[in-house]
Amino acid sequence: MAIWHSEYSLESLNAHSHGTLAEVLGIRFIEIGEDFIRATMPVDARTRQPFGLLHGGASVALAETLGSTAANLCCTPGREYAVGLEINANHVHSVRAGEVTGVARPLHRGRSSQVWEIRIYDDSKRLVCVSRLTCAVIAQAQAPSVA
């Protein structure tokens, strides 16, 4: 059984990214599994640092996009939403070109907090970055919609 509050489509998740940093960086959601979501990001002029490598901040942006989206998919629309409290990242391999793929999976889904692990891989399936995002779950009568 899926962990998501409702059924969501890739089209709705990608449309929700319109006008955001995710759109600027070329982040695209490509899969919604029973307990994970997956997205890709190009390694190009938008996401490289001056030495030609994938910028660590771009990896963190991908991780936070995945983790916060996943956290919000687990919230009750209109009653609560999740916001990031803390994120960390270990950059373990460099990438110069191609595309990276991130996968977010829950470590903890509680009533007031959630913790997500996001692993980012290059085209050769080598681990590039591992990140952990902690989110607060906030109750609100008019919570923003995720999808």
In the predicted model, what is the mean pLDDT of the chain? 95
- Given this model, what pLDDT does residue 39 score? 98
pLDDT at 6 exceeding the cut of 60: yes
CATH architecture, range 10-139: Roll (3.10)
Q: pLDDT band at 146, cuts 50/70/90?
A: low
Higher pLDDT, 1 or 114: 114
Q: pLDDT of 68-92, one tens digit each?
A: 999 999 999 889 999 999 999 999 9
Of the candidates 64, 86, 99, 117, the residue annotated as catalytic is 64
Catalytic site includes residue 117: no
pTM tops 0.85? yes
pLDDT at 129 exceeding the cut of 90: yes
**DSSP string spanning the chain?**
---SSS---HHHHHHHTTTSHHHHHT-EEEEE-SS-EEEEEEESTTTB-TTSSBPHHHHHHHHHHHHHHHHHHTS-TTTEEEEEEEEEEEE-S---SEEEEEEEEEEEE-SSEEEEEEEEE-TT--EEEEEEEEEEEEE-TTPPP--
